[in-house]
Amino acid sequence: MSTNKMTVLGMDLKGIGILILSVATAIWVFGATFGLALVAVLIIHEFGHVAAFRVAGHKDARFRLVPMLGGYAISNRPIDTQEEQVFISLMGPAIGIAPMLLAYGLTPFAAQYYPAAISPLLTFASICGALNFFNLLPIWPLDGGKLTASITSVFHDRAPFYILASTTTLIGLLAVLTQRLFLIFIVVIGVQHLMKTGGGDGRSRHTHMSKNHALLCLGAWLFTAAALFMGGLATILRFI
């Protein structure tokens, strides 16, 4: 009991130290406003995963931040079904829609009563949309890669391999052109995953879901991605 209470959000002493390091690194690299907004978005995102884990019965779920790489949510108990994998993967990005809309909604009030808050609100809202949208792209090990493995394998066994191999190749080309270490890191993990699993086939590890459920999951994925894309468009355009 006490261990679970200490690790709900990974906030034991080590977790607190990593959080402080993540905040300091983000501020140093991106500046105070952008850096703090980025860390806040990451915390909300990982909390969404933890909340979904808990709803699915994973009482030991917790998360940790990783400086400059984001964060991760884990549970010691394996995920049993494809529906459960989709729910847990999608809830991280999807939970960002509410604070994104709230920040945008508060902007007119800030303009009237506290103009200094306008820039932080808009920065947070745009990062929230952009970061979570990026996380939904069909790229392993992002949440979108896990959604690809779980959903598309219902329709064709090799669909995850074809999709993830294509996106990994595109990211590889982009990494060569831009020489971004972060993209190279994603490519390495993506290639390792393809070699290990043959494309992220969600059937091999989880109980198979029906095609109707897969279509509903696909619709939720696309709707969430579209909403986040619209909200994060300013930041997306800034970095492409």
Q: What is the DSSP letter of 108?
A: H
Predicted confidence at residue 156, as pLDDT, reads: 86
Provide the residue ranges of all domains of the chain, joining segments of one domain with +. 1-77, 80-240
Average pLDDT, the chain: 84
Provide mean pLDDT across the span 122-140.
93
Which amino acid would we find at residue 134? F
Predicted confidence at residue 147, as pLDDT, reads: 94
Residue 114 has pLDDT above 80, yes or no: yes
Phi-psi sector, 139: left (phi>0), alpha (psi -120 to 50), beta? beta
Q: How far apart are the first and last CA of the chain?
A: 46
Q: Looking at the whole model, is its pTM more than 0.75? A: yes
The kind and range of the H/E element at 65 are strand 62-66
Predicted confidence at residue 16, as pLDDT, reads: 64
Q: Are 120 and 113 in contact (CB under 8 A)?
A: no
Residue 135 has pLDDT above 60, yes or no: yes
**Nearest to 50, CA basis, from 83, 101, 7:** 7
- Give the 3-state secondary structure of residue 157: coil
Q: Are 150 and 86 in contact (CB under 8 A)?
A: yes
Provide mean pLDDT across the span 132-140.
91
Residues, the chain, total? Answer: 240
Each residue's pLDDT tens digit, 154-174: 888 888 888 988 888 888 888
Q: Secondary structure of the chain: what % helix, strand, coil (to 5)?
A: 70, 5, 20
The residues that bridge with 81 in the sheet, in sequence order, are 207
The residues that bridge with 66 in the sheet, in sequence order, are 70
The kind and range of the H/E element at 104 are helix 97-113
Predicted confidence at residue 41, as pLDDT, reads: 93
Residue 205 has pLDDT above 50, yes or no: yes
Each residue's pLDDT tens digit, 3-56: 344 344 445 556 666 667 777 777 787 788 888 888 899 999 999 999 999 999
Predicted confidence at residue 8, as pLDDT, reads: 46
